[in-house]
Structure 1
């Protein structure tokens, strides 16, 4: 998405980095676009930089835009241009390339001037929403029954309204409410809310301003007596709706407003003609409640065929490849679960309403 790339280049490029963008044409037809970040090598400096596609915690997939029918020719042309513009670069990393991407097909026979290695593999969830919602909903089991119970419980607090907001100025206006709502909960207590990260706020503000007029920045909101109790930030890219961020008011935690809102989003998108897939670009445990499928995303390391690259870049790429191909598949699932739990050890999950009341009563005493 041009708007996403623009926001990234304005707000996510780190100090000491710079960027460039190459375009491949066949006649007057645009067949490829490759934006890259240029970073000095930690030992060799700026004369021997390393390149990578746009990728960070807010942009988990750094794919390359290619015309599917001209993917290989376009990609080789883009690589050739990189070698002309930055002749000293040691290599290029394409991060988070999705299974089935034209990039992976274009690289099946290698890349001129580079040695290819596969790196980290990630599994992200998605849901095909082109089928029948009634059939999908009937297959949710306990979640289907719980949603009805949670909705009835929420209605006990007042008049419930679910709305979809998109377009300008709704995209920007609701962002402020979302930031405040998110900061009021467990992420605010942990210091991981957007309000604690000015760079993230600036990035999403740029997205809202750029994508809002084209109705590619959307909000699903649940209100109780006009009070926002849950909000889902969505980005529409082609026929995919990306679920970027969600927040809810913990006062209503016993009504599970996050689950209710996700259910409302899915119910609506099954009826939309402009959405074929919901993509969360993560692999959170709660996604299993919604029977989501998973696709593999892989990092591709391209190391230049040169003496300097062989000495300083190839060993790192080879280690990544060996770990992902031979070591990681043999790690017992029990060890993986322990490691994931260790990484999440600092998270303080949202308090249930009953728990919250008990905590407040203890504090009063």
Structure 2
């Protein structure tokens, strides 16, 4: 984007309260819709309901706008918190409910706007952490090319995804062939002995009613027993209902379902944004586990994605190594924790934060090992 004189437009950076009443939601939503790297979790339809009901301290929305037109060119929620256990630094705000850390970046934005974003986010500390950042994104490319910053990718991980077009079809064919294809079809035939089987995609006016059915299905399983289902707590139930209502009204929610007769036995809620599909939440009836209802539905969703007009990429949002989805969605999306530091001690700051993160990960692994031994 250029000014009337032909040079780069001036960039104005502001920190805003994402819940303030007079926030320019139209400008925020427009940037979310147009972002070069779709990220529904940084848009107003997700972030405002989340912060309203879930809290999480002092989160501010950092906005870089064109100082002449006021158009938003880059935005992300920012909060100061430890990268690991001990060292609090400005960090783009991601959660387990939205593990995508890509700043919203307008296609017309350039290096000058990304540089202004980093300067404003890092502030006096001279450091910024960006967790869960898809490293192949346009925003990540700009950030890692910042001349004034020392760049460190502390952790790289790969989660299940799938592509579009011929590459996506090849991934589907590889996943659904041979013994697996034969077994999945056999299980589906056995499931038909229980009643008429149907696979359907829900959109539009029916979304909210079917999301209530998803909530009930999720709460009936192990997540309900462990009190981690969305419906287990009023905060998560209210946040999720508001999010699905807001995003659904704009055509950004899809629910894929597997039923036996009228009985819902598997449901997958996805967010659809800029040709990207984010598989947000899945649930299935455990009494039908022998028929692999979750896997059946994930394969159906794969086909629905490939048939979707304008489809570009599907992100499972699943933890790396997920036993059910990784054998079925054969693509991989690389994400990482990106550290950016400036100043004479930039390299030292990145090393301190990297060590802090490594310490936390080590303690987490030890805790998991202890829990496994106790259970066994």
1:34 maps to which of 75, 88, 92 = 75
What do the CA deviations read for 1:306-327 (whole angstroms, capped 9, x no partner)? 77x899x555324268x59xxx
1:205 maps to which of 241, 246, 250 = 241
2:225 maps to which of 179, 186, 189 = 189
What do the CA deviations read for 1:63-84 (whole angstroms, capped 9, x no partner)? 112235633121012234446x
C-alpha distance in 2 between matches for 1:199 and 1:344: 28
1:251 maps to which of 287, 295, 298 = 287
SS of equivalent residue, structure 1 residue 285? coil
Aligned position for 1:296: 334
C-alpha distance in 2 between matches for 1:79 and 1:240: 26
C-alpha distance in 1 between matches for 2:150 and 2:313: 34
Aligned position for 1:96: 132
**Is residue 150–residue 255 contact of structure 1 (8 Å, CA) maintained in 2?**
yes
C-alpha distance in 1 between matches for 2:144 and 2:170: 38
- 1:166 pairs with 2:203: yes
2:98 maps to which of 49, 52, 59 = 59
SS of equivalent residue, structure 1 residue 122? strand
SS of equivalent residue, structure 2 residue 307? coil
Aligned position for 2:324: 286
Runs of 4+ residues over 6 Å off in structure 1? 338-341
Name structure 1 gaps, 5 residues minimum.
Answer: 43-47, 332-337, 349-365
Aligned position for 1:177: 213
Normalising by structure 1, what TM-score?
A: 0.76
Aligned position for 1:14: 56
The within-5 A match list for 1:94-243 is 94-110=130-146, 112=148, 114-131=149-166, 137-139=172-174, 140=176, 141-168=178-205, 170-243=206-279
**Is residue 253–residue 272 contact of structure 2 (8 Å, CA) maintained in 1?**
yes
Report the aligned-residue RMSD.
3.6
Q: Residues 316, 10 of structure 1: CA spacing in aligned structure 2 closer, same or farther, 3 A cutoff? A: farther
**Is residue 267–residue 282 contact of structure 2 (8 Å, CA) maintained in 1?**
yes
Aligned residues: 324
Shift of 1:291: 4.8
Deviates more, 1:99-108 or 1:27-36: 27-36
Aligned position for 1:73: 112
**Is residue 128–residue 278 contact of structure 1 (8 Å, CA) maintained in 2?**
yes
C-alpha distance in 2 between matches for 1:242 and 1:253: 24
**Is residue 179–residue 195 contact of structure 1 (8 Å, CA) maintained in 2?**
yes
Q: Residues 82, 193 of structure 1: CA spacing in aligned structure 2 closer, same or farther, 3 A cutoff? A: closer
Answer with 1 or 2: which has the greater Rg. 1
C-alpha distance in 1 between matches for 2:169 and 2:65: 45
Shift of 1:195: 2.5
- 1:4 pairs with 2:46: yes
C-alpha distance in 2 between matches for 1:193 and 1:39: 28
What do the CA deviations read for 1:8-36 (whole angstroms, capped 9, x no partner)? 44344413x23133123275384632223
Q: Residues 310, 125 of structure 1: CA spacing in aligned structure 2 closer, same or farther, 3 A cutoff? A: closer
C-alpha distance in 1 between matches for 2:315 and 2:230: 21
Normalising by structure 2, what TM-score?
A: 0.74
**Is residue 221–residue 232 contact of structure 1 (8 Å, CA) maintained in 2?**
yes
What do the CA deviations read for 1:176-229 (whole angstroms, capped 9, x no partner)? 211211111122223332223444323322221111112211101112221111
Name structure 2 gaps, 5 residues minimum.
Answer: 1-39
